[in-house]
Structure 1
Amino acid sequence: MSLFEQLNNEMKNAMRAKDKPRLSVLRMAISAIKQAQIDGQKEMTDDDILALITKMIKQRKESVSMFTDGGRLDSAASEQAEIDVLEEFLPQALSADEIKSLIAQAIEQSGAASMADMGKVMALLKPQMQGRADLGQVSGQVRAALNA
Structure 2
Amino acid sequence: MSHQASKKLKLNITNYSVKGGNLKFYVKTRWSTAWDCTSSILRLKNQLKNLLNECPEILNNKIKGLLRTRSFFNDINTVNTLLGPVKSAVKALEFKSTTLANCFIELIKLSQRINFLPPISDQNFKSTCIELFNKRWKQFDFDLYVLSYMLHPYYQGKI
Structures share a fold, TM > 0.5?
A: no
TM-score with structure 2 setting the length: 0.31
Using the size of structure 1 for normalisation, the TM-score is 0.33
More helix by share: 1
